[in-house]
């Protein structure tokens, strides 16, 4: 049987804020030795391949791009990261996530053999992103000065740890008043050149939790987020800060394969649980028949951290890393299904949020009074924000929702954001308020 997973309609014709790619690493020596080098993937072209499961049943998968075993690290960077780096320099937020089974090549794609690697064939996304950021800023000339900062956190055993300051071992993820997710109190390091950036990345990575399993000698035991902010410091453009977040997830694992016991086993359970929460969020975002419009971002720290990336407030790219070996075909199939699902996260056409410098008032681009559009007033910030639209409830939303929104905005001025968010969630659960994340940009 040949099942067409993503062939019709072509993913390229769908408007989505998530670019989804799959990447197959080369077979490793164990897979060659134990399984005679048999593979479960048959290449059709750069976007499509046939996958064969254990029962020899075939499915055709299509993604925005498929990187096979012979793919180059530079190709992965150019297709996935370069456009997002350019956007970040122009004040548009971006996120790049590596996802997949343990040992599938997530950390290799992100770092290369290590982040200080200088061999251009091996260098991973992180050092290339650093190069790209500094190159773009240099080409802007002397007229605009930028400030780049870096924060690094890991989610280990459901706690958010600051990799630049290990005393901060339980940081809180919350939304700021513009509904952007941030890690409260995280260390921000100012980067002045690529050398300094790489040294800091290297230092932070040394603090990340890594363990040895039967599937991977250096298995990431935490989800790690590298958060770059690019802020112009010249007067005219000072509002357009771009945030670029790279997320190297811990891998899903079958305990019987990794041989995890004791601490490794506890880590594996926590990792698998948070990855299930991520799957649930993707399902909720893409399931139009869902009874409620609630997206369970709060079910794990990981989904909370990725709320912007999945909820539409970011250009997002997902790299689904896979083993090509038949011995891992069920895990590979599940990774590919995850990617297919993520591709169906829909967005509405790009919306602009404009903040008036004098009054602090905010509009959607469509609501901006003509006077402001004609440029009579200084607009301090014009950001492109794609918005997710899993179910189009926005037009049906009752008038009283505006009223609740105003009350929440007032509460937000007086209370901690986290408390207001809880109250907001309660209102959503009680059916008194529509889920703002489902409506995309929310103007309080």
Q: Which residues would be at the binding site for ligand ATP (CB under 6 A)? A: 25-26, 100, 102-108, 216, 218-220, 250-251, 321
Q: Which is nearer to ligand ATP, 153 or 391 (CB)?
A: 153
Please tell me the count of residues contacting Mg ion according to CB under 5 A: 3
Residue with tokens 């004791």: 262
Residue 209 interacts with which of Mg ion, ligand ATP, none, CB < 5 to 8 Å by class: none
Q: Does residue number 220 form part of the binding site for Mg ion (CB under 5 A)?
A: yes
d(CA 194, CA 135): 9
* Backbone torsions φ then ψ of 25, nearest 5 degrees: -80, 165
- Smallest gap from Cβ 76 to ligand ATP, in A, equals 9
Q: Is-contact 155 172, C-beta < 8 A?
A: no
Q: Is 105 annotated as contributing to ligand binding?
A: yes
Nearest distance from C-beta of residue 251 to ligand ATP, angstroms: 2
Stretch 87-126: interaction string toward Mg ion, x if CB under 5 A: -------------------xx-------------------
DSSP result, 276-330: HHHHHHHHHHH-TT-SS----GGGSHHHHHTHHHHHTSSEEEEEEEE--BGGGHH
Placement of tokens 């799959």 in the chain:
22
Smallest distance, ligand ATP to C-beta of residue 194, A: 23
Residue 102 binding: pick among ligand ATP, Mg ion, none (C-beta 5-8 Å cut-off by kind): ligand ATP
If the CB atoms of residues 218 and 429 are measured against ligand ATP, the closer one turns out to be: 218
Per partner kind, with CB cut-offs from 5 to 8 A, the member of Mg ion, ligand ATP, none near residue 108 is ligand ATP
DSSP state at residue 162: E
Answer yes or no: is 104 a known binding residue.
Answer: yes
| Residue 223 vs 304, nearer CB to Mg ion | 223
- CA pair distance 403, 420, nearest whole angstrom: 15
CB nearer Mg ion, residue 219 or residue 300: 219
Nearer to ligand ATP, 106 or 343 (CB): 106
CA 46 from centroid of its chain's CA atoms: 23
Instruction: Name which of 106 and 243 has its Cβ closer to Mg ion.
Output: 106
Restricted to residues 416-435, the positions that interact with Mg ion (CB under 5 A) are: none
> Is 107 a known ligand-binding residue?
yes
- Kindly indicate which of the ranges 76-84, 218-226, 299-307, 349-357 contains the residues binding Mg ion, using the contact rule CB under 5 A: 218-226
Q: Is 100 annotated as a binding residue?
A: yes
Chain residue whose CB lies nearest ligand ATP: 251
Beta carbon nearer to ligand ATP, 81 or 321? 321
Nearer Cβ to ligand ATP (80/354)? 80
**Interatomic CA distance for residues 156 and 163, integer angstroms:** 11
Q: What are the two backbone dihedrals, phi and then psi, of residue 128, each rounded to the nearest 5 degrees?
A: -70, -40
The answer to the question of whether 101 is labelled as a binding residue is yes
Which among Mg ion, ligand ATP, none contacts residue 281 (Cβ within 5 to 8 A by kind)?
none
Contact in structure between 153 and 162 (CB atoms under 8 Å) = yes
Q: Give the x/- contact pattern for Mg ion in 178-217, rule: CB under 5 A.
A: ----------------------------------------
Instruction: Provide the b/e sequence for 407-422 (b: ≥16 CB within 10 Å).
Output: bbeeebeeeebeebbe
Of 110 and 230, nearer to ligand ATP (C-beta) is 110
Report in angstroms how near the CB of residue 247 gets to ligand ATP at its nearest. 12
Residue 394: enclosing H or E segment and its boundaries? none
User: Residues annotated in the binding site for ATP, as ranges?
Assistant: 100-107
User: Residues annotated in the binding site, as ranges?
Assistant: 100-107
- Residues found near Mg ion in the complex (CB under 5 A): 106-107, 220
């Amino acid at each position: 049987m040949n099942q067409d997973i993503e062939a019709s309609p072509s993913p390229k014709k769908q408007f989505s804020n998530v670019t989804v790619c799959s990447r197959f690493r080369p077979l490793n020596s164990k897979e060659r030795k134990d399984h005679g080098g048999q593979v479960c993937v048959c290449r059709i072209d750069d976007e499509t391949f046939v996958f064969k499961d254990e029962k020899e049943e075939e499915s055709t998968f299509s993604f925005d791009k498929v990187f096979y075993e012979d793919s180059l690290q530079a190709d992965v960077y150019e297709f996935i990261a370069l456009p997002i780096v350019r956007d970040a320099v122009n004040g548009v937020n971006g996120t790049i996530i590596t996802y997949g089974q343990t040992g599938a090549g997530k950390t290799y794609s992100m770092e290369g053999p290590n982040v200080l690697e200088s061999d251009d064939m091996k260098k991973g996304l992180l050092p290339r992103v650093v190069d790209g950021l500094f190159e773009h800023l240099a080409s802007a000339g002397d007229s605009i000065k930028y400030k780049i900062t870096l924060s690094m956190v890991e989610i280990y055993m459901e706690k958010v740890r600051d990799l630049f300051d290990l005393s901060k071992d339980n940081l809180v993820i919350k939304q700021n008043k513009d509904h952007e997710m941030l890690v409260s109190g995280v260390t921000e390091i100012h980067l002045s050149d690529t050398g300094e950036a790489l040294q800091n990345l290297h230092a932070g990575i040394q603090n990340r939790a890594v363990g040895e399993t039967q599937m991977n000698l250096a298995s990431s035991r935490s989800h790690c987020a590298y958060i770059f902010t690019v802020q112009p410091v010249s007067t005219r453009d000072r509002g357009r800060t771009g945030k670029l977040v790279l997320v190297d997830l811990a891998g899903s694992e079958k305990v019987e394969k990794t041989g995890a016991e004791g601490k490794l086993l506890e880590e594996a359970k926590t990792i698998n649980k948070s990855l299930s929460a991520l799957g649930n969020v993707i399902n909720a975002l893409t399931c139009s028949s869902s009874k409620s419009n609630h997206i369970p971002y709060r079910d794990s720290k990981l989904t909370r951290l990725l709320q912007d990336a999945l909820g539409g407030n970011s250009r997002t790219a997902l790299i689904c890393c896979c083993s090509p070996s038949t011995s891992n075909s069920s895990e590979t199939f599940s990774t590919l299904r995850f990617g297919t699902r993520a591709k169906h996260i829909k967005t509405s056409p790009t919306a602009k949020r404009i903040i008036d410098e004098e009054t602090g008032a905010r509009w959607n681009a469509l609501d901006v009074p003509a006077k402001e559009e004609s440029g009579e007033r200084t607009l301090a910030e014009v950001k492109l924000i794609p918005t997710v639209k899993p179910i189009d409830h926005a037009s049906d939303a009752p008038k009283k929702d505006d009223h609740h929104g105003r009350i929440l905005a007032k509460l937000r001025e007086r209370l901690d954001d986290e408390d207001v968010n809880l109250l907001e969630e309660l209102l959503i659960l009680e059916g008194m308020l529509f889920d703002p994340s489902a409506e995309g940009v929310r103007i309080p």
